[in-house]
A and B are shown apart, each in its own frame.
Chain A
């Protein structure tokens, strides 16, 4: 009787997960999606706990409570910490899959058929490499590790060699599952490869990497489903795998990188070629007072936020600026580049947290059709995604990357800490254009000044 109930609970959970993602597609139904997803997970866990296979609940109880005690504070972090939190949760998910695979192997290695062994190999390979890679990504995002990409000659060959040997070990295990010595070797190699994969990754490439790790974590859960012959695991895992895949493709397109480029971890190399002419053209800097009076007298202002806004924690001040401009009768919209920030959708979440209405957050294409009409484009902490060189300078490393056409607005204002180049290490010709006004300083402080000056300005 329990068996039937468990099967029905699993079936309902599968449907719930698909509905959860379907309803997440737009804001009005998104909350319903979260709730149905949580119901699905409750059904899955509840059903499993009723399984006759479970003979002892003591450790399970401790583990569930401990997990909740760690998980809840992790969910209450400020939104600026969301990229590193996401990386960390990918690490936990992947570790769980690798641990279950290892336990399964330790119990059944002399009775495993080849197909199950194949599924276990995939589960543990993906689990271990995603675990170490996600920890590395976490370290870089949390700035425990240097954010700059670290590259050396022959890096790709070394990385691929490690991966190749790991895969060969996996194949050998599938041929002879009883060879228990090979299993830890494979696990360690996959773990090592995960670390090496992230070493050459710079901060600007993080959105793609996080999406890819999301996909791998899901696929390792799906592989667990194959190994345990559990359809619910296969469905939930492949949904996650598909989601990560789509996100990483979107990120690739937004950076004009090929997908294979990402798979081989060969990116982050952009910084090696700061090509193009480096004219020492003068930049025009301005005062917040002058900038505020231009802003207050504009009809349409487009704000382009970037990672710099997140670093300076300026999102609340930016919303205040939006409010005070709206009060003066100025139309204000935000232009969000798909790779702005450190993970997909990073800027949207930050601005939503600061109570910016979400219908003011425009996607790149929509923003670009508005920009020629805009009086002012205000760039806050964004750099490479605004570089006009991407459109015309074939020597530029960013050439071909879709950008926000900030330079089409009548006046361009850039809030920037200093003239140091962005993460990709490329000069941005936007800063030396005649219509560009630079506002140097900390984004939060400068925007705070602007809010005061706008309120005082006559329009």
Chain B
């Protein structure tokens, strides 16, 4: 298989990223577990990269439709995910606001 070197480096990247992820996320305060989930959800909307290529290559009608739908779905999470995380983080204050 001609792909062999790429597979190996992909596996290395996967392995390292998973360990970095586990280490970084272990430190996240339970206070922020809901924003953590909405932020990782926004980050995993990175599928938009694959979706854009499929939709933009416009090879067959089927692939263009599937790609366009996938871009829409991912974009929902990109905009929605960052915006709601932003809203949540803004709510966390140390002092109660004066009324």
A56–B47 CB distance below 8 A: no
Interchain CA distance A233-B32 in the complex, whole Å: 25
Q: Give the docked Cα–Cα distance between A190 and B12 (Å).
A: 28
**Which A residues are in CB contact (< 8 Å) with B80?**
70-72, 74-75, 85, 89
Q: Which secondary structure characterizes the binding site on chain B?
A: helix
> Which of B14, B29, B53 makes the CB contact (< 8 A) with A228?
B53
Contact pattern, A 18-51, Cβ under 8 Å of B = 1, otherwise 0: 1011101111001101100110110011001101
Residues of A within 8 A of B59 (CB): 107
Assembled-state Cα–Cα distance A27/B89 (Å): 7
**What band does the interface of chain B fall in when counting residues whose beta carbon is under 8 Å from A?**
35 or more
| Bound-state Cα–Cα, A345 to B79, Å | 22
Closest to A45 in B: B48
Given contacts A100-B51, A106-B63, A355-B96, contact A214 B40 (CB under 8 A): yes
A336 with B88: CB separation less than 8 A? no
Contact with A along B17-46 (1 / 0, CB 8 A): 110111011111111111111111111111
Whether B35 contacts A345 by the Cβ 8 Å rule is yes
A330 contacts chain B at the CB level, 8 A cutoff: no
Of B32, B45, B97, the residue contacting A93 (CB under 8 A) is B45
Shortest distance from the beta carbon of A111 to any chain B beta carbon, whole Å: 12
CB-CB < 8 A to A3: which residues of B?
none
Chain A residue with Cβ nearest B52:
A48
Please indicate the chain A residues that have their CB under 8 angstroms from the CB of B71 in the complex: 59-60, 63-64, 67, 96
A270-310 at interface with B (beta carbon < 8 Å) = none
* A99–B92 CB distance below 8 A: no
Cβ of A211 under 8 Å from chain B: yes
Contact indicator B55/A63 (Cβ below 8 Å)? yes
Q: Does A388 contact B (CB under 8 A)?
A: no
Q: Complex: how many Å from CA A44 to CA B82? A: 14
Q: Digit string of B85-96 for contact with A (CB within 8 Å is 1, else 0)?
A: 111111111111
* A68 interfacial by beta-carbon distance below 8 Å: yes
Say yes or no: is A142 at the interface (Cβ < 8 Å to chain B): no
**For residue A21, which residues in chain B have a CB less than 8 angstroms away from its CB?**
21, 24-25, 28, 36, 39-40, 43
A353 within 8 A of B: yes
Is A311 in contact with chain B by the CB < 8 A criterion?
Answer: no
Q: Are A99 and B42 in contact (CB under 8 A)?
A: no
Q: How far is the CA of A113 from the CA of B30 in the complex (A)?
A: 43
- A67 with B78: CB separation less than 8 A: yes
Q: Does A176 contact B (CB under 8 A)?
A: no
Judge whether A449 is part of the interface by a CB distance below 8 angstroms.
no
Contact of A218 among B13, B32, B40, B86 (CB under 8 A): B40
B33 touches A89 (CB 8 A): no
Assess A352 versus B43: contact at CB under 8 Å? Given A48-B49, A59-B68, A226-B14: no
Once the chains bind, are B89 and A229 in contact (CB under 8 Å)? no
Tell me which residues from 51 to 101 in chain A have a Cβ below 8 Å from any Cβ of chain B. 51, 53-57, 59-60, 62-64, 66-68, 70-72, 74-77, 79, 82, 85-86, 89-90, 92-93, 95-97, 99-100
Q: Are B22 and A100 in contact (CB under 8 A)?
A: no
By a CB distance below 8 angstroms, the chain B residues around A250 are 30, 33
Measured CA separation A438–B43 after assembly (Å): 45
A194 → chain B closest CB, angstroms: 16
B79, A103: Cβ atoms closer than 8 Å? no
A interface residues, tally (CB under 8 Å): 115
Task: Determine the residue in chain B with the shortest Cβ distance to A242.
Answer: B21
Stretch at the interface among A150-158, A160-168, A357-365, A413-421: A357-365
Given the complex, which residues of B lie within 8 Å of A51, measured CB to CB? Answer: 52-53, 56
Complex Cα distance A79/B87, Å?
10
Distance in Å: Cβ of A33 to nearest Cβ of chain B = 7
For B49, give its contact among A45, A62, A63, A319 (CB under 8 Å): A45
Question: B37: which of A41, A239, A343 is its contact (CB, 8 Å)?
Answer: A343
How far is the CB of B38 from the nearest CB of chain A, in Å? 6
**Residues of B close to A211: CB separation below 8 A:** 37
Once the chains bind, are A224 and B47 in contact (CB under 8 Å)? yes
Q: Give the B-binding residues of A (Cβ under 8 A).
A: 13, 17-18, 20-22, 24-27, 30-31, 33-34, 37-38, 40-41, 44-45, 48-49, 51, 53-57, 59-60, 62-64, 66-68, 70-72, 74-77, 79, 82, 85-86, 89-90, 92-93, 95-97, 99-100, 102-104, 106-107, 113-116, 210-211, 214, 217-218, 221-222, 224-226, 228-247, 250, 319, 323, 336, 338, 343-346, 348-349, 352-353, 355-359, 361, 363
Give 27 CB contacts A-B under 8 Å.
Answer: A18-B24, A27-B29, A31-B89, A34-B82, A37-B85, A45-B52, A51-B52, A54-B52, A54-B53, A62-B68, A70-B72, A71-B77, A75-B82, A90-B41, A97-B50, A100-B51, A100-B67, A115-B3, A217-B44, A218-B40, A218-B44, A226-B10, A235-B17, A240-B43, A243-B21, A247-B37, A343-B34
